[in-house]
Amino acid sequence: MRYLIILLFTIQSFAQVSNKLPYYEIPESPEFYTPATTAARMIDGLGFRYYWATQGLRAEDLAYKIGADSRTSGETVEHIYGLSKFIRNSVLTDNKDENKGELSFEAKRKQTLLNLKLVSEALKANNGNFGLASTEVPFWNIINGPVEDAVWHCGQVVMLRRASGNPFTSNVSLFSGTVKDKN
């Protein structure tokens, strides 16, 4: 039930900001460090990096790959989406991403960002009280497995987009999690 309330709040919040996707900037930092807020911030950092790694990708960027045995940017985005589903489905018990169908790049990007936002909000809402035993796999493995793997692959998308002639914007500060003033 708690996750349903979080989901409804998230949907209402997105509707109020004209369908703006999460992670244009990292949310305000919590006042205190806790295990839950630290884990949520890791997810927020991933969301921010993914947002900007994938912002403005063109069809030619998605089709680009550096060699015959490498992934395209589009295949890498698909993999990151799968990792976001794994993270969401491992942490949330009542609100899983059950999608099995093909999604467009835009829909995949949006759902990846929503998956990460829901996990971050659930971690903060539970204040760490769900414990490691309530996840399908040990939470430590979620951090060093799919979370860090997704960060790794965001870097690959950035590298591939640069190689295909569409570099990552210089107006983003990965350090502060904000978009720099364009002036």
Checking if the pLDDT of 88 tops 50, the result is: yes
Domains of the chain plus CATH, in order, are 2-22+32-172 (1.20.120)
Band (pLDDT 50/70/90 cuts) for residue 31 is: confident
Beta bridge partners of 179: 172
- pTM reported for the whole predicted model: 0.85
Answer yes or no: are the C-beta atoms of 77 and 109 closer than 8 Å.
yes
Say what the pLDDT of residue 160 is. Answer: 97
**Average pLDDT taken over every residue of the chain:** 86
Q: Which of 119, 52, 127 is nearest to 85 (CA)?
A: 119
Q: Which of 58, 37, 59 is nearest to 128 (CA)?
A: 37
Say what the pLDDT of residue 4 is. Answer: 44
Return the C-alpha torsion angle 155, 156, 161, 165, nearest 10. 100
Tell how far CA 44 is from the center of its chain.
7
Checking if the pLDDT of 174 tops 60, the result is: yes
| Cα(125)–Cα(35) distance, integer angstroms | 12
Token pair of 13, please?
């919040």
Say what the pLDDT of residue 15 is. Answer: 43
131 vs 105: which has the higher pLDDT? 105
Q: Which of 51-65, 82-96, 126-140, 167-181 has the highest mean pLDDT?
A: 51-65
| Cα(13)–Cα(86) distance, integer angstroms | 24
Exposed, middle or buried: residue 77 (CB in 10 Å: 0-12, 13-18, 19+)? buried
